[in-house]
Structure 1
Amino acid sequence: MNAASQTPLSESPVPGGKNRRAGRAVLAGAVAVGLLAAGGGTFSKWSEEQAIASGDIVTAGELSMENTTVSWENGAGKTIDPATYRIVPGDTIELHASTTVVAKGDTLKGTLELQLPAQLQQEVEALERAGYVSYDVTLTSGDKSAKDSYPITHEDDGDVVQAVATFTWDADRTTGSDGENVSTSLSGTKLVLAQQ
């Protein structure tokens, strides 16, 4: 056995050891920056937020009708029942429709019209052209009046508008038995309120 003292093996320095430690530190820093960025962008320039309009509410308006009523009158202003009243040449009858307009909207513009069903409208127009019947519609509210189409704005909110459709049978154009025992349905006649 060799009695000579043995020197412990010394760790040989690994070439570039300091460079490896520095490289690991840079890599760890890059990973940390990446995680911060992925976690909501907290690694960013200065910024600030201020709440605005938090107590403001935007509300839509309304365009509708309430308390609509319908009645019939003869040309002398007397109320009649269309189910039992029998018209003759020379008669005038009037359909009265009254409604309260709900018009809420600062820039709201619309129209109110009394419309006959399409088939009846065509028949009335044909009789008008032939001179047997005259027909017109007037819509009024207070001092405001219009033919056929009544203009609506927010200023009309709560106003009562009355539409009167007037039918007059011309006796001078009716001969023989023309028009006797003829019934006409007004089903489908309506008030139409529409935004323009």
Structure 2
Amino acid sequence: MMTTLSFSPAPIDGSRRPWRRHATRAVVAGALAVGLLTAGGGTFSRWYESQPLTGDTISSGQLSMTPATTTRWNDQNGPIDPASYRMVPGDTVTFATDTTITAVGDNLRGTLGVDHSRLVVADPPGAAGLNVSMVVSGLTDTNGTDGYTVVGQKGATVNDNGRKATVTITIVWPSTRPDGTPWGNGPGSGEASSVDLSTVRLVLSQNV
């Protein structure tokens, strides 16, 4: 007896080949992933947004003064003309000038003072005994022990901002030398000498 084996041809519609469908889906997914990587510059695309923390701004203050104007000269007897006046031992000469302060800043503190460290005397030490001092009126601080404090404007409180300060410089030539002896005559006595006052400067600086 002979046994006969029969074979049926496989269908060509792909119904028995699901692995082909899975393979096709994997290829499409891989292509999509590559496209996302390319579009994102090497990273996956994502939603993104940024917002500013605040719309406010902060501005700086200011500390300055106008040039000194309207110098007024006097000695112990009244007004003088510095161009023709001749000072002698025992004289006290003053000159006053005005300046307007600009001081804006919530925590601003400054000091108004005079720098006479470069006061030039043509015949040293003829007038080495000159005493120079300063008084300022018009500011909130009227003491001046350590210079005159300038307080900046804070909000609606103006403090010293916009104030006109009158600065009075006093120069005293003592009637005797610092050691109490007479000035005498000749070199070192201060005769026919001069003092260059252009080196005396008003200084306004911030306290830090």
Report the TM-score when normalising by structure 2.
Answer: 0.68
Please list, as runs of the form range in 1=range in 2, the aligned pairs for 1:11-26 lying within 5 A after superposition. Answer: 17-18=20-21, 20-26=23-29
Question: Can you list the C-alpha shifts for 1:33-62, whole angstroms capped at 9, x where unaligned?
Answer: 324533997524xx76555533x3322211
Residues 1:175 and 2:172 aligned together: no
Q: Is 1:191 matched up with 2:192?
A: no
What SS does the aligned partner of 2:37 have? Answer: helix
Comparing both structures, which one devotes a greater share of its residues to strand? 1
Cα–Cα, structure 1 residues 20 and 77, in superposed 2: closer, same or farther, change >3 Å? farther
Post-superposition offset of 1:63: 0.9
CA contact 1:139–1:148 (8 Å) conserved in 2: no
Instruction: State how many pairs are aligned.
Output: 179
Aligned-pair CA distance for 1:66 = 2.5
Unpaired stretches in structure 1, ≥5 consecutive residues: 1-9
Structure 1 residue aligned with 2:135, among 129, 133, 138?
Answer: 138
Partner amino acid, structure 1, of 2:150: I
From 143, 149, 152, the counterpart of 1:151: 149
TM-score, normalised to structure 1, is 0.72
1:45-99 CA distance string (max 9 Å, x none) = xx76555533x33222111112631524233373322221110111001132321
What RMSD, in angstroms, separates the aligned Cα atoms of the two structures?
Answer: 3.7
Structure-2 separation of matches of 1:127 and 1:194: 33
1:80 & 1:169 partners in 2: Cα distance?
A: 16
The structural deviation recorded for 1:190 is: 1.8
After superposition, the Cα gap between the structure-2 partners of 1:152 and 1:42, relative to the gap in structure 1 and judged at 3 Å, is farther
CA shift, 1:22, in A, is 2.8
Counterpart residue number, 1:7: none
Q: Which amino acid aligns with 1:101?
A: I
Unpaired stretches in structure 2, ≥5 consecutive residues: 1-11, 153-158, 178-182
Distance 1:148 1:160, change over 3 A: farther
Change (3 A) 1:88 1:61: same
3-state SS in 2 of match to 1:162: strand
Distance between the aligned counterparts of 2:103 and 2:197, measured in 1?
Answer: 28
Q: What is the CA-CA distance between 1:103 and the residue it aligns to?
A: 0.5
Q: Which residue is equivalent to 2:80?
A: 80
Residue 98 of structure 1 pairs with residue 102 of structure 2: no
Q: Distance in 1 between matches of 2:118 and 2:149?
A: 26
Secondary structure at 1:29 match in 2: helix
The structure in which a higher percent of residues are helix is: 1
